[in-house]
Amino acid sequence: MIISDMTMPEFEAGLTRTRIVLIPFGSVEEHGPHLPLSTDTFEAYQVCIKAAERRPLFVAPPIHYGNCRSSACHPGTISITTTTLKSLFIDIVKSLRGHGLDTFIALSGHAGGAHGMALQDAGEELIACYDDISVAVVTEFLLA
């Protein structure tokens, strides 16, 4: 169930089927001269879509921005701070929790170490604040 494609009544009906949401995280960074800058985002989003075709799952709109320290000097790379990334994840989870979702899976297509740690830190902070939710942070590489 792709949240951005749903109407409000469709979203409400989806809550009767699942309380789980996949949140795809990517980045806008170089991947050589032959691949688009949004490769990480595209891959994470497609994995989420494929999972939702097999199981009742919500898929949040993809987050295109990530922390890209090692590729920040390459043309076209857009990097955000780990603080911004962490805050973004926390705010998204809080908002979706307010609509009844309780299981949050951040799926990252970006392999940056600081990027992954920011998402993990956010997940740990959320679990410490709310005893009624579950949070997992995985990369598509761990799923392979």
Taking the model in full, what pTM does it have?
0.94
Report the sign of the C-alpha dihedral through residues 3, 9, 14, 15, in that order.
Answer: positive
**Per-residue pLDDT at 143 exceeds 80:** no
Mean predicted confidence (pLDDT) in 75-79: 88
CA–CA separation, 50 and 31 (whole Å): 23
**Per-residue pLDDT at 70 exceeds 90:** no
Complete domains list, the chain, with CATH: 3-78+93-143 (3.40.50.10310)
- DSSP annotation of 74 reads S
Q: Cα 42 to chain center, whole Å?
A: 11
Per-residue pLDDT, 144 = 67
Per-residue pLDDT, 20 = 99
Q: Are 90 and 126 in contact (CB under 8 A)?
A: yes
Mean predicted confidence (pLDDT) in 15-31: 96
Q: Are 14 and 20 in contact (CB under 8 A)?
A: no
Mean predicted confidence (pLDDT) in 22-28: 97
**Per-residue pLDDT at 38 exceeds 80:** yes
**Per-residue pLDDT at 52 exceeds 90:** yes
Per-residue pLDDT, 72 = 63
